[in-house]
Chains A and B, each alone.
Chain A
Amino acid sequence: MINLTIDNRKVAVEEGSTILEAAKSVGINIPTLCYLKDINVIGACRICLVDVKGARTFIPSCVAPVSEGMVVNTHTPNLIKARKLVLELILSDHPMECLTCKRNGNCELQKLAEEFGLSEIRFEGAKTEYPIDDSSPALIRDPRKCILCRRCISVCTNIQSVQALTVENRGFNSLVAPAFNEKLANMECVQCGQCSLVCPTGAIVEQDDTDKVWAALADPKKHVVVQTAPATRVQIGETIGAEPGTIATGQMVAGLRSLGFDKVFDTDFSADLTILEEGNELLQRVTTGGVLPMITSCSPGWIKFIEHFYPDLLPHLSTCKSPQQMFGALAKTYYAQKEGIDPKDIYSVSIMPCTAKKYECQRPEMFSSGYQDVDVVLTTRELGRMFKQSGMSMTNLPEEEYDAPLGISTGAGELFGASGGVMEAALRTVYEVVTGKELEDINFTACRGITGVKEATVNVGDLPVSVAITNGLGNARKVLDKIRAGEAGYHFIEVMCCPGGCIGGGGSPIPTNLDVRLKRIDAVYTEDERMVLRKSHQNPAVQDLYAEFLEKPLGHKSHELLHTHYTERDHYPKEEC
């Protein structure tokens, strides 16, 4: 243990702790800006400076390790003055468009300015001027609002191992952007949106598609249906101030209906369907000597990642579309037929914790119904915005049920929201389908939790099925490298693009940090336990779907509507010669 003094208080912390951590351990909060625990620890913004006795300059507490006998003061008058001036400088290069900014009211820079009590910016000079990049269907970058904290670079590089963003130029002209200031849409950016979760300001935000949805709702000719992703019900409460981990399924359904959606359906339904298709695909691969390990394909950021970085491993991907796109294809075929609605009049909206879904719904493979299967994707944040715009107090609404048939689901479908959920849902079904026996314990706890790479072996009859589960693309990379090296003896791998799975997706409410992720994960399992049916093959609506329309898993119609193919992609845009 290291003993030091902070603000006249004796503190003992483990060797290697930073001053910031030591201060936190005794309840002293030092303001920070660029710092983001476990992700970005670079000491760049100079807001977290402290006064260390004997030091020549102020010391950045987020990176400075404690030492024996250190005497730290976190709020001398000179320090307060210095921090204020640093913040004043940062604000002097900021557009000050707070009232019209997507992050108004949820901006770390704004919050600091309020806490520091800045009353004036004394510097009138140049401001960073770079064009807005809205080339990507998922994300918008506005470099003018960027404070160069580099959290986005860190998360993209260190957590996702994508490295789509870097610092260009230097000094006052510094710019966070894709290499060579290329447009985001032309890069290997997987559109996961983790950058938008960590951005302290409004410099990277989701593309806002709420206007499209308002317009569709206002159009009497449109039959507007909506699907909600498993994770959204454990996130939406946060957009109106509820505690992380709040489950608001029934209120969200009621709210959506109140907004004017004709039918409120559930992606949990198509998640159940995915299990049947994907489970059968796995069995087929195992029994016919197909390519193994098979890897899940629900997560569109992950799909884009493997297409860019490991195209040689594409045959390992399940050919199943994601639940969103299975739903989309069925809404404009099966549902349209069943209800006698012309599919051209159906407007299909999905609510996702994900920015990459905005990209996925526009892929050319996703027009199986003859139309764009899913017309528009809103993130959880955007749905929260719609609720606010409507003036509706969602939490006060009485709970309502999803509509049949595409809103009927099981707990297994709900599990898709957390890392390991697809695997657990698949194991519940595959076990019972193969063995014909009922599972004694349907909780596969080895699949659960936020660990980056999880492994398990489950005996399905005589076959020990070896599985792996990864979340965060940096972890996916580790397993893919093992496959490339021929060292991965798995049958089935679940990959989720974002840390923690979809509950930590790039379209989630902000903040989304480790603590918040864990609470949302707990909520997913609580929601599973609340369900009467908890195995996908027991979903009656899915059973009807096969009986009335699809005939059988992996059948002709399934292949037409529910399965897809993938595209090899380059790392960098190819120059037109």
Chain B
Amino acid sequence: MKSLEELAKIKASRREALKIREGIPSATEKAHVMMCGGAGCISSNCKDVVEAMQASLAKNGIADQVQVILTGCMGPCDMGPVAIVYPDATFYRRLKPKDADAIVEEHIMKGNLVPRLLYRAPGAKEPTPKVTDMDLFAKQKKIVLRNNFYIDPTNIEDYIANDGYVALGKALTAMTPAEVVEEVKKAGIRGRGGAGFSTGMKWSFCAASKGTPKYVVCNGDEGDPGAFMDRSVLEGDPHSIIEGMAICGRAIGAEQGYVYVRAEYPLAIDRLSYAIDKAREYGLLGKNIFDTGFNFEIEIRIGAGAFVCGEETALLTSIEGKRGEPKPRPPFPANEGVWAKPTVLNNVETWANIAEIILKGADWYSSIGTAGSKGTKVFALAGRINNTGIVEVPMGTTLREIVYEIGGGIPRKKAFKAVQTGGPSGGCIPAEQLDTPIDFESLTALGAMMGSGGMIVMDEDTCMVDIAKFFMDFIVDESCGKCSPCRIGTKRMLEILERITTGKGKEGDIELLLELGNTIKSTALCGLGQTAPNPILSTIKYFRDEYESHIKENKCAAKVCEFVE
């Protein structure tokens, strides 16, 4: 890629070809069927549906007038396989190969909807055919997931059609590195990996750091149980990561990037590595990008399954090929990161925001969200909720809006009990806090955490002690074992919880859990250990009565725990 003009040409021609996805009927094409190709829909056999669809199109002789495209994750995973048929943006769900003929012959050829495959809101009689009318999507604001309905993740020109790589061009040709850093700082974006540190500050520290060479790293080691936001971006819009990282490379003076992806995400690895090859082919990675003398390369590093490798120092150590274990900070990665060189490490979701910030400006970005937390946040909704899947909302949206409006409420008329955010590092938020606007501060104040964005909804049938045990069991499995409070302390907490949930709890166990929890928080080496007690501490804080009834009365109100006599 030699110039912005060259990029603009590709964009213009491709955009023309994709008009139909914006709802504008085309003279040559009847429809684009965007079939969700996220890992969830793939496991419910969306590829068979695609095949059936293509067979049906061929049978009806219109194969050349309809494109069937596998996209990234669209979000409503429990309805999968789902598809959107353009130009009219009709949303179909729970598709089976046998439904292909109906969609092709009725919808595409005759213009009739197929009612049995349409979405119905919980409790509603009438279906909601248009995707843009669905509650699930109406309250969402898509920045990170901007392309997931729109593009074929394996087609770089689709990405370019939606302004892809324009921000990189702008950063390289119209801005100084310092201006790029300043823009990101001004946007107010905070790291989406969990801790919420200012991304712009991080970049500025690294830019100011003396060592060379510098590195740009993407943390794609998403490991919270029930969280799959980053996977959906890597699978659905890999170029947004590449572009964000290259912009950072320009800003801090780095020429090499690494994307660390967990091995459990084979599709993400495939799509990303294909995208890297394509970007190289188009001259958007490699030497002399946009003819500015800027060089940037990206390599993928595949994790081996340890949760702790999502912790930044452990991740960087793992990139070096060593046992993935955290190191004390300082030194911070901005000064001594991978190969002991200055490194910017951001999470997938953070990277996906960068190009939009550079393209549309810090003022636009910072107008979204709350005073302290700008932009949007992607959550993975799971648990006892009607619409499970991926949602993206502006910071400041309340839990109630997410659970009841976007998530469609609790199934089978059960009562809402709590929502767990932030995965094993987070905590449980009770019903009385449902109207809390979600941002970094408010969640921490509640004893929970933004974390990477896992959100698990629980109803009255959930035992909170059992939930705490579940997360502690996970942590005990995933503790690296380097520092003693985490290695031994979490094991002891789990043992106490096992005691309580089997009717062997003792007077004083709650106090011991609190003492252990608070001490581990203040003594453990890394973020994993320091936050590991949160699920226990927050459930004791809000649901202490459940612990007490387990210990004193051998009673589990939710009837989850089985007491052994």
User: A residues touching B (Cβ–Cβ < 8 Å)?
Assistant: 42-46, 49, 57-58, 60, 63-65, 81-82, 85-86, 89-90, 92-93, 122-123, 125-126, 147-148, 166-167, 169-174
Q: Establish whether residues B484 and A45, one from each chain, have CB atoms under 8 Å apart when the complex forms.
A: yes
Q: Establish whether residues B492 and A171, one from each chain, have CB atoms under 8 Å apart when the complex forms.
A: no
28 contacts between A and B (CB under 8 A): A43-B525, A44-B482, A46-B524, A57-B521, A57-B523, A57-B524, A60-B328, A63-B328, A82-B519, A85-B516, A85-B519, A86-B519, A86-B523, A89-B492, A90-B488, A92-B488, A92-B492, A123-B492, A123-B495, A166-B323, A167-B323, A170-B479, A171-B487, A172-B481, A172-B487, A172-B488, A172-B490, A174-B482
Q: Establish whether residues B519 and A125, one from each chain, have CB atoms under 8 Å apart when the complex forms.
A: no
CB distance from A102 to the nearest CB of B (A): 23
B: number of interface residues (CB 8 Å): 33
Q: Establish whether residues B483 and A171, one from each chain, have CB atoms under 8 Å apart when the complex forms.
A: no
Q: Establish whether residues B519 and A167, one from each chain, have CB atoms under 8 Å apart when the complex forms.
A: no
CB distance from B332 to the nearest CB of A (A): 12
**Chain B neighbourhood of A45, CB < 8 A:** 483-484
CB distance from A482 to the nearest CB of B (A): 25
**Chain A neighbourhood of B484, CB < 8 A:** 44-46, 86, 89-90, 147-148
Given contacts A82-B519, A122-B512, contact A64 B328 (CB under 8 A): yes
Q: Establish whether residues B476 and A171, one from each chain, have CB atoms under 8 Å apart when the complex forms.
A: yes
Closest to A78 in B: B522
Q: Establish whether residues B328 and A171, one from each chain, have CB atoms under 8 Å apart when the complex forms.
A: no
- Most chain A CB atoms below 10 A, which of B308, B488, B492, B522: B488
User: B residues touching A (Cβ–Cβ < 8 Å)?
Assistant: 306, 308, 323, 327-328, 330, 476-485, 487-492, 495, 512, 515-516, 519, 521-525, 530
Q: Establish whether residues B487 and A174, one from each chain, have CB atoms under 8 Å apart when the complex forms.
A: yes
Given contacts A43-B328, A57-B521, A60-B328, contact A126 B495 (CB under 8 A): yes
Q: Establish whether residues A171 and B525, one from each chain, have CB atoms under 8 Å apart when the complex forms.
A: no
**Chain B neighbourhood of A125, CB < 8 A:** 491-492, 495
Per the bound structure, the CA–CA distance linking A52 and B481 in Å amounts to 25
CB distance from A399 to the nearest CB of B (A): 48
**Chain A neighbourhood of B477, CB < 8 A:** 171
Number of A-B contacts (CB under 8 A): 98
CB distance from B213 to the nearest CB of A (A): 24
Per the bound structure, the CA–CA distance linking A147 and B484 in Å amounts to 8
**Does more than half of chain B's interface fall in helix, strand or loop, or is it mixed?**
helix
Per the bound structure, the CA–CA distance linking A89 and B489 in Å amounts to 6
Return the 4 tightest CB-CB contacts between A and B, nearest first.
A174-B481, A171-B479, A125-B495, A43-B328
**Chain A neighbourhood of B490, CB < 8 A:** 171-172
CB distance from B328 to the nearest CB of A (A): 4
Per the bound structure, the CA–CA distance linking A44 and B486 in Å amounts to 10
Given A44-B525, A125-B492, A172-B490; 11 other pairs, CB 8 A cutoff: A43-B483, A43-B525, A46-B525, A64-B328, A64-B330, A82-B519, A82-B523, A123-B492, A170-B306, A171-B481, A172-B487
CB distance from B313 to the nearest CB of A (A): 11
- Most chain A CB atoms below 10 A, which of B480, B492, B512: B492
**Chain B neighbourhood of A42, CB < 8 A:** 327-328, 482
Q: Establish whether residues B481 and A148, one from each chain, have CB atoms under 8 Å apart when the complex forms.
A: yes
Q: Establish whether residues B524 and A171, one from each chain, have CB atoms under 8 Å apart when the complex forms.
A: no
Q: Which residue of the partner chain, among B481, B495, B512, B524, contacts A167 with CB atoms under 8 Å? A: B481
Per the bound structure, the CA–CA distance linking A148 and B525 in Å amounts to 14
Per the bound structure, the CA–CA distance linking A122 and B495 in Å amounts to 12
Q: Establish whether residues A170 and B522, one from each chain, have CB atoms under 8 Å apart when the complex forms.
A: no
Q: Establish whether residues A44 and B492, one from each chain, have CB atoms under 8 Å apart when the complex forms.
A: no
Per the bound structure, the CA–CA distance linking A148 and B479 in Å amounts to 14
Closest to A90 in B: B484
Q: Establish whether residues A49 and B330, one from each chain, have CB atoms under 8 Å apart when the complex forms.
A: no
Q: Which residue of the partner chain, among A85, A148, A169, A173, contacts B515 with CB atoms under 8 Å? A: A85
CB distance from B318 to the nearest CB of A (A): 13
Closest to A166 in B: B323
Q: Establish whether residues B487 and A58, one from each chain, have CB atoms under 8 Å apart when the complex forms.
A: no
Per the bound structure, the CA–CA distance linking A209 and B293 in Å amounts to 70
**Chain A neighbourhood of B530, CB < 8 A:** 57
**Chain B neighbourhood of A60, CB < 8 A:** 328, 525
**Chain B neighbourhood of A93, CB < 8 A:** 488
Closest to A34 in B: B484
CB distance from A146 to the nearest CB of B (A): 11
